[in-house]
Amino acid sequence: MYKVVMQEECSCFKKSEYASSATFETQQEAYRYANVLAELMNEEFCRTHEFVAQPGQGNSFVIRVLRNITFVSGCSTGVSCDVGCGSTDEWTLEATEDESCGSGCGCS
């Protein structure tokens, strides 16, 4: 038997219809369930937390609960940033003609 368990239950999880543990006959069924459940919770819940399915000890999979950094920072782009989403800094990873050595490699 293979088991899928929640690491901890956030308030959204407690309000949901999902069970905190489930048992399966095969490893593939448990793996699939853990990943699908984590994905559904990431889509349906308030986004304060992020859910990740990982192998646990023995015959189990654990759905870990992580703090969603992009939600906490107020960034809705899905990308965490050091200066915040309201930043007006303009920058690029590509070198300009003046900065490159002429070979197009972008080195200075």
pLDDT in tens, 6-63: 999 999 999 999 999 999 999 999 999 999 999 999 999 988 899 999 999 999 999 9
Residue 7's domain comprises 2-72
63 belongs to a structural domain: yes
15 belongs to a structural domain: yes
Query: Is the distance from CB of 67 to CB of 47 less than 8 angstroms?
Result: no
Structural tokens at position 96? 């300009």
Query: Is the distance from CB of 68 to CB of 78 less than 8 angstroms?
Result: no
> What's the pTM?
0.63
Query: Is the distance from CB of 63 to CB of 33 less than 8 angstroms?
Result: no
Q: What count of Cα atoms within 13 Å lies in the side-chain half-sphere of residue 56?
A: 19
9 belongs to a structural domain: yes
Provide the domain count of the chain.
Answer: 1
Backbone CA torsion sign across 87, 88, 94, 96? negative
59 belongs to a structural domain: yes
12 belongs to a structural domain: yes
41 belongs to a structural domain: yes
Structural tokens at position 42? 């990431």
88 belongs to a structural domain: no
pLDDT of residue 73: 55
Q: What count of Cα atoms within 13 Å lies in the side-chain half-sphere of residue 58?
A: 7
105 belongs to a structural domain: no
